[in-house]
Amino acid sequence: MQKILVTGSSGLIGSEVCIHFGNLGWEVHGLDNNQRAVFFGEQGDTRWNQKRLESNIPNFVHHEIDIRDREGIIKLIGSIKPDAIVHTAAQPSHDKAAAIPFEDFDTNAVGTFNLLEATRQYSTMVPFVHMSTNKVYGDAPNEIEMVELEKRYDYADKHYTHGISESFRIDQTKHSLFGASKVSADISVQEYGRYFNMPTACLRGGCLTGPSHSGVELHGFLSYLIKCNLIGREYTIFGYKGKQVRDNIHSYDVARFIEEFIKAPRIGEVYNIGGGKDNTCSILEAFDMISEISGIEMHYQYSDQNRIGDHICYYSDLRKIKDHYPNWTITKSIKDIFQETYDAWKTRVK
């Protein structure tokens, strides 16, 4: 039986990967120490997801370990001897990073380096997939010429008709401290691939979302927005008139791509992975979409101060990822994402 190690296994993408590979018959080793609850408090707690995995995956083993524990990580990978590693563990909020800079960098940059070196010491043949972020591009996408529409911004420059590609620059731009720590991790994953000829991939995610997301105000905008609508909590829009745009991708489609990469891995690759233009929405459009589903009017307030490093408009150019892996495509529409996330919150919110 093939074995996979998934870090951040109780999080959104990690848990989806665990379920997906469990359904494929793999032995699944999940690494998670519920650090999200430390970062975001009770609302960020993911123990419910850990219990779900333990109940639903026959060959699931949970490992309570912090990726900052270098010796512990080296021993764990050496003992498990995985056939593939998927690294989704992170401090995920660029707002939170400024308040906890050492914890952010040690988790995102050093933690990733620990995993890479532990993998290399075990085997240079094991596919290593890293969940990076579109924040590696900093706020450079905001320099693109925009057009302002009634409820959203979009690119006016035809060069970006398909969205942001992997060739977009990552330097000479403001990233936030979170973006900087993730750039370090991203480059490290690429370098281990190229320098040691290891099969590695950085997945620069757009808005990763889905029904298993424990969305909070500082991370997981769509999940949190839908929760606010359901419970009648006031949502705060931070700048850009609520017209800022994101491309949303369901965690299932991310897991499906990871399967495709592991089946046919490449050396030191980088892919922008998101919902693409078809799965975009602005905050104002998201309000309309969830209100149509729930029948509940959205309550919100507006702050003129946009978040540091926030994108006015961002959606992923999916042409490279589809060219390299033609068997992969988006299967979950934005309407599917809203409906599934709403249904999931209804079962979890009392």
Burial class (CB in 10 A: 0-12, 13-18, 19+), 79: exposed
pLDDT at position 218 over 70: no
Of residues 46 and 327, more confidence is placed in 327
Tell me what the pLDDT averaged over the chain comes to.
95
Average pLDDT over residues 324-329: 98
Say if CB 283 and CB 244 are below 8 A apart. yes
List all residues 6 or more positions away from 212 whose beta carbon is below 8 Å from its beta carbon.
12, 15, 16, 49, 251, 344
Fill in the amino acid letter for 62.
Answer: H
8-58 per-position pLDDT tens digit: 999 999 999 999 999 999 999 999 998 887 887 887 788 989 999 999 999
Q: What is the pLDDT of residue 20?
A: 98
pTM score of the predicted model: 0.95
Domain of 329 in residue numbering reads as: 3-348
Fill in the amino acid letter for 74.
Answer: I
User: Encoding tokens for residue 254?
Assistant: 């991310």
Say if CB 110 and CB 281 are below 8 A apart. no
Positive or negative: CA dihedral 287, 134, 33, 100: negative
Angular region, 263: left φ>0, alpha ψ -120 to 50, beta rest:
alpha
As a whole number of angstroms, the longest Cα–Cα distance in the chain is 56
Q: How many domains does the chain have?
A: 1
Average pLDDT over residues 330-345: 96
C-alpha to C-alpha distance for 331 and 187, rounded to whole angstroms:
30
71-87 per-position pLDDT tens digit: 999 999 999 999 999 99
Q: In angstroms, how far is the first alpha carbon of the chain from the final one? A: 40
Domain with 108 in it: what CATH number? 3.40.50.720
Q: What is the pLDDT of residue 215?
A: 67
